[in-house]
Chain A
């Protein structure tokens, strides 16, 4: 069965530290990749997405992600986090389904301390 794995369930770091969250998927065909963020008490918002082209994609709020096809990975990065980046981060994969069906990873809780 297809799966989406986020290896870190909880990450605690200080402001100005760099952040990298891992996401791996198991599907060998064409994929479309997303990172969503859920701030405390809020709904999910799209951070960035990858469909094709440049494997390094830039999103909102200084986030970027790199698609490495050979590693089935789509890791999220931010060079310098802020307290306001405290949130739950979800990787999501569309396994070539034309209806846009998304499979989500289990999420990573990120806590940024002042």
Chain B
């Protein structure tokens, strides 16, 4: 059984478009995260939700909007895509607090 799943796995789109990435976890966790991994493999947290409530919001352009319909799902919507948004986006989940985070397989976004 997949613990943390993301769709799509690959996303190629043009500048200016709007796209969404979906994440689902079946681990019973109440906290979910979005990370961005750039071309140099550097991982940086973007957002975190706990029980559908936004708890971490790093310095991210407001073109990025996370949405958590329930504690098992955390989606990422990106408006007006730019070349610099090209990266691998990872979703992760954990229990509330400092616990192991379980990562999804990543979504490779390419903006042309």
Interface size on B, residues (CB 8 A): 25
Q: How far is the CA of A101 from the CA of B48 in the complex (A)?
A: 8
Residue A106 CB within 8 A of the other chain: yes
Interface contact B98-A44, CB-CB below 8 Å: no
Interface contact B56-A107, CB-CB below 8 Å: no
B90-107 CB contact bits vs A (8 Å, 1 = yes)?
Answer: 101010111111011110
Given contacts A94-B98, A99-B97, contact A43 B42 (CB under 8 A): no
Indicate which residue in A36, A94, A100, A107 contacts B42 across the interface (CB closer than 8 Å): A107
Residue B43 CB within 8 A of the other chain: yes
Indicate which residue in B4, B42, B94, B105 contacts A104 across the interface (CB closer than 8 Å): B42
Interface contact B90-A32, CB-CB below 8 Å: no
Q: How far is the CA of A51 from the CA of B97 in the complex (A)?
A: 12
Interface contact A46-B90, CB-CB below 8 Å: no
Residues on the B chain within 8 Å of A19, using CB = none
Residues on the A chain within 8 Å of B45, using CB = 101-103
Residues on the A chain within 8 Å of B50, using CB = 99
Given contacts A43-B105, A43-B106, A100-B99, contact A106 B40 (CB under 8 A): yes
Residues of B21-59 contacting chain A, CB below 8 A: 31, 40-45, 48, 50, 55-56
Residue A64 CB within 8 A of the other chain: no
Residues on the A chain within 8 Å of B40, using CB = 106
Q: How far is the CA of A51 from the CA of B99 in the complex (A)?
A: 9
A21-61 CB contact bits vs B (8 Å, 1 = yes)?
Answer: 00000000000101010100011111001010000000000
- Contact surface of B with A, Cβ cutoff 8 Å: 4, 31, 40-45, 48, 50, 55-56, 90, 92, 94, 96-101, 103-106
